[in-house]
Structure 1
């Protein structure tokens, strides 16, 4: 907490594992993270003084998605010809957590009691009143130590994707949370390094560079996201410390045993321009793999009044997404803002707030869920696990072994099928329309409701370009092109 900016970065790069941070619950702390524009806006509204500190003390800054980024999806530059600028916040998760904890101490030090190096073991409940009265916790350092009780009027679980709340609610209230999990074989390798000039001005002038996966045809993606400015006298350096992330789905994992092997793999599996960037990088950290991410949604709103009166799940504890799209932190920020609005309305009884929050938060989650999972549903080795409120579990598997495992093939929901088709042609339109590209970026960064991409002018433009393509295919080949069939 007292480290300087350079000491924090040096400490970050040389740690052997996330557990040495005392943050064992966040094994993905090393990975590339994105705080999308709406999350950045919420952050600065909560901590107005933070912007100057970020830029002047920690050498981070916001980057222009209009002039400093080069982002592709399905072969389309999605940020070209933007009609308005959008910020990309450049910071690593490790530094971000330290800064926020320091700010919380400064702003609320007399109101917050920190229980560090502890683990929550379970809930203290009153079943007759359907309330959670508190939690039981113990020291992480002494696993044989006795537990302690902590009581509260309102309890928030923001422990992330590894939350134990479903287990505790089942034990304490015999309450089964309906869930759906989508396993798509996610994996990535992340490292920190300094970028140097490649000789290609179009690459060297872009600070944020990335391309998404597009299964089943393209199961590998790439992202280079700056985390701080470097002061250097080396003219060949681009002057940024950057997090590099090579991502995959369908279990097509990149190697992490050596940078040389990773480069060879990148040469075969990435576009040449991304290989050239990696070839001109000075690596400052280990190559950190991460392979546990899934789409995991808990439909808490379906339980209605059966849900405990004064207990909520927030952010990743309620729903986790494919980390390739960088929605998680902003999704949690939006949940927190909505909870603040509910308390700020000062017209709700405390016993009703969790139910109100569950309904409102699920709307936010639904936006992110549809945007994230539509692409994941195309993964060749997809596995879906559904659990209803009665505890009945159904498993679906899409791969060559499905016949031997006796799992039926997953059926793609009609809404997802439509979104896959619509988003493909929407991107083709966005490549020709600055306004549509701007609307698309605003939705991706959670600044606008996805419904703006369905407004009449946009909808008919998408239908028109799709229809023209079908007519062209019919005229040339006498039948529909298989790749565009809905």
Structure 2
């Protein structure tokens, strides 16, 4: 279920193990507009769109915002679709960029050292184009095995409660809500429908199974658009196509990013020769305006400082300003249910866990989980009925790595709200900074480990600003090449503790 990036990659991996794969997709993604448009027509569509419904893509509300496929995700796509990269480079005017030479990244108020000991490739492309190109490639390579049911939506599970197994789903045409549902049976069912998945509701209805969840609301909002960047006069900015500054709550609740999506031909010597997706973002509900670019620039000038203002002021806007205010950290702890979880059914990607999009982990997280599911089938030593439980454990370990990176700083937000649901269905709400509420909320309690991670992240960022190796290690984690554990190697721990001690000692002397 779900034909976006997670569904496409999962389908490609599983073609080796199933004769027939059916993709239930709520939008008309095989329409001529998507499948027969030229690269330039796709770009024109993208630049005109004011929201996902503008082109019938309501199922992916965040589709047109800034997305980055991290280099580990890039590696997975190359494995599955060997021709895709060349097509993107040669037909779509996409270019591969280098973290070492093309990136300027501020983390927790510190500029990461740019003299990296290892490079990481980044494909400069927007999600709309990437997903469309991937879908074309999937149909080209595996068209005989894959059946699409577009404009369709799953509405119910078909289950055998006595065997604790899911045998299929009921679906109906999206535009015929009053029509009878259609039964579709399958040997294995994957929910790739994203953060708004209905699986939690269906499992409760069908098995009285409650999935433990945690939702972290931290007031994230952002505005994105496509623009042509021009020279600012500052070589440190003009020489970098990828410029980003993360927020560092509570001291700084705003951030920005710009990533290239197309090379363009221009006679203007002041142009940087690229179209980019630009983003301004906030936490703590300090939302940027999207009613006019002039108002957005004023907001940037006040909130984000001269560097960001210089980049955005010298940018020509080429699309509507699109806002998004519904992103949260949302994790379903499926691994805690063990064998209570039904057989032959899994959640994958955003359906299992979503993160603060400011860390650009979502697409690569889904690709890694799809690869892990493929590995489980490839091992050829597991019974089909056991695969969902094995996958839940392994996929949750992947989610844990991304969750740690994403939520450590989100917990520092002044207006934080946590909603926890346990296995018994008991819901607890914790809220910080809500003095106006008629009943006093429980206060979120940060564990000692979380407090340590917040402290450590600050001092590690300072050390990384001076160390090529530590900056490289940080990028390895951010691009999902390595586990966050590499940031706590003995030598790194010693460096961070020593730096913190010296700074505390110097401050105490003053």
TM-score normalised by the shorter chain: which range applies? Answer: over 0.9
Gaps of 5+ in 1: 477-486
1:410-446 deviations in whole A, cap 9, x for unaligned? 0012221111011111111111211111111111111
What is the alpha-carbon distance in structure 2 between the residues aligned to residue 422 and residue 95 of structure 1? 38
Aligned to 1:273: 307
User: Helix, strand or coil: the match of 1:124?
Assistant: strand
Aligned to 1:94: 128
Alignment partner of 1:309 is 2:343: yes
What is the alpha-carbon distance in structure 2 between the residues aligned to residue 153 and residue 335 of structure 1? 19
TM-superposed CA distance for 1:79, in Å, is 4.5
Aligned to 1:480: none
Aligned to 1:428: 462
Whether the 8 Å CA contact 2:334–2:341 is kept in 1: the answer is yes
Report matched runs for 1:151-230 at 5 Å.
151-230=185-264
What is the alpha-carbon distance in structure 2 between the residues aligned to residue 87 and residue 95 of structure 1? 18
Report matched runs for 1:211-250 at 5 Å.
211-250=245-284
CA RMSD of superposed structures (Å): 1.0
Aligned residues: 476
Alignment partner of 1:120 is 2:159: no
- Greater shift, 58-67 or 324-333, is seen at 58-67
Aligned to 2:3: none
Alignment partner of 1:83 is 2:130: no
What is the alpha-carbon distance in structure 2 between the residues aligned to residue 385 and residue 210 of structure 1? 30
User: Helix, strand or coil: the match of 2:149?
Assistant: coil
What is the alpha-carbon distance in structure 2 between the residues aligned to residue 402 and residue 381 of structure 1? 12
Aligned to 1:481: none
Aligned to 2:65: 31
User: Helix, strand or coil: the match of 2:129?
Assistant: helix
1:355-390 deviations in whole A, cap 9, x for unaligned? 000001111110100110000000000000000000
Alignment partner of 1:347 is 2:381: yes
What is the alpha-carbon distance in structure 1 between the residues aligned to residue 43 and residue 36 of structure 2? 13
Aligned to 1:483: none
User: Helix, strand or coil: the match of 1:404?
Assistant: coil
TM-superposed CA distance for 1:101, in Å, is 0.5
TM-superposed CA distance for 1:19, in Å, is 1.9
What is the alpha-carbon distance in structure 2 between the residues aligned to residue 238 and residue 144 of structure 1? 53
What is the alpha-carbon distance in structure 2 between the residues aligned to residue 25 and residue 161 of structure 1? 11
What is the alpha-carbon distance in structure 1 between the residues aligned to residue 269 and residue 74 of structure 2? 31
Alignment partner of 1:11 is 2:45: yes
User: Helix, strand or coil: the match of 1:28?
Assistant: coil
Alignment partner of 1:470 is 2:509: no
What is the alpha-carbon distance in structure 1 between the residues aligned to residue 503 and residue 434 of structure 2? 33
Which of 431, 449, 452 in structure 2 is aligned with 1:418?
A: 452
Aligned to 1:482: none
What is the alpha-carbon distance in structure 1 between the residues aligned to residue 269 and residue 217 of structure 2? 45
Alignment partner of 1:60 is 2:94: yes
What is the alpha-carbon distance in structure 2 between the residues aligned to residue 213 and residue 222 of structure 1? 8
What is the alpha-carbon distance in structure 2 between the residues aligned to residue 181 and residue 50 of structure 1? 36
What is the alpha-carbon distance in structure 1 between the residues aligned to residue 202 and residue 108 of structure 2? 42
Aligned to 2:368: 334
TM-superposed CA distance for 1:25, in Å, is 1.3
Aligned to 2:7: none
What is the alpha-carbon distance in structure 1 between the residues aligned to residue 463 and residue 313 of structure 2? 34
- Greater shift, 5-14 or 71-80, is seen at 71-80
What is the alpha-carbon distance in structure 2 between the residues aligned to residue 19 and residue 125 of structure 1? 33
1:89-126 deviations in whole A, cap 9, x for unaligned? 21111101100110100111000000111111111111
Whether the 8 Å CA contact 2:171–2:182 is kept in 1: the answer is yes
User: Helix, strand or coil: the match of 2:251?
Assistant: coil
- Greater shift, 259-268 or 338-347, is seen at 259-268
